[in-house]
Structures are given as structure tokens and as C-alpha cells.
Amino acid sequence: MEFDNLVKLIQAVSESELTRFSYEENGVSISMKKDKKQKLVTINNVAETAGSGLPVLTAVETPAAGNAGGGGQAEGNVVKSPLVGTFYSAPDPEAEPFVKVGDPVSKGQVLGIVEAMKLMNEIESDYDGIVRQILVSNEDVIEYGQPLFVIG
């Protein structure tokens, strides 16, 4: 199989809901599997850290089957990934993240970066508001259309 066709095949499988794919041609076998889990970060308004007055952030593993957990999801506008790649929450490993839960954001503000085929693509907010949830972690492999942020 030619390299370009292989890349197209990988993209097609990544964009689909398939969890397993196998292909064999001329003695060459390709097998792909996609894990469908994501981390959901929410604000717990009741608990506070040792009297600091700051809300406790909780991470919950949820299936990524089109919604981010249903009942525990904050209401707001969802920013989705425009492409397949690796998500980065900061411009470099030593830097602070672009945004944190509770940060105010403006339309056009950079929320993160997706690396795809060695190109860094900035993910910008489509909305004004407050970051209610961050649905991915730094260095997560993400899919096209996957929810990344909830802005309320």
C-alpha cells in the first residue's frame, strides 16, 4: 500500500466510530484500534482545598461516545477539534497552560494547540465566556470533532 493511501486510511479510521480495523493485502497486515476514553475536568463548588477558598478540580474518566458524560456536563458552548492530532495545553512544556477552568476567554483567544503532521495549529475560542470544562489533557491524542472545551 502506498504511503498516501495509508495516511488516508488512518484518517478515515480516526474520524469514524470504529474501535478496531484490520486490513491485509499482499502479505502485509494492518491492524488499528481506537480507545474511546477521555478525561472530564469539572469544578466542584462545594469542596475547597484546606481553607484556600479555591475550588477542587476533579478528573473523571468517561466514555467518549459523542457526549462527555451527560449528567455532570456543564452547560455552555463546546469548542471542538478541527483536526486529528496531539493536543497541547501550553506553548511549551515549561510554560503555563493557555487557559484553566474558571478563566475568562474572548472569541479568538488561543485555548490550546493541536499538532498534526508536525504542524502546530492553534485552537481558538469561538465564544466569549468562562472556561467551564477542559475535556482533554495535555498530550492527549484527539480526533476530528472531539469536544475540547466547554465555554459558558
Q: How confident is the model at residue 25 (pLDDT cuts 50, 70, 90)?
A: confident
Q: How confident is the model at residue 60 (pLDDT cuts 50, 70, 90)?
A: very low
Region 135-148: mean pLDDT is 93
Q: Dump pLDDT digits (tens) for 85-138.
A: 999 999 998 899 999 999 999 999 999 999 988 889 999 999 999 999 999 999
Model-level pTM greater than 0.85?
Answer: no
Alpha-carbon span 142 to 77, nearest angstrom: 19
- Helix or strand run (H / E) with residue 4: helix 3-15
Domain of 139 in residue numbering reads as: 37-151
Task: Determine the pLDDT at residue 46.
Answer: 46
More confident residue, 26 or 47: 26
Q: How confident is the model at residue 2 (pLDDT cuts 50, 70, 90)?
A: confident
Same domain, 41 and 28: no
Same domain, 11 and 61: no
Does the pLDDT value for residue 41 go beyond 50? Answer: no
Same domain, 65 and 7: no
Same domain, 27 and 45: no
Same domain, 29 and 69: no
DSSP β-bridge partners for residue 115 = 86, 120
Same domain, 90 and 147: yes
| CATH number of the domain within which 47 lies | 2.40.50.100
Q: Among the ranges 70-74, 75-79, 102-106, which has the highest mean pLDDT value?
A: 102-106
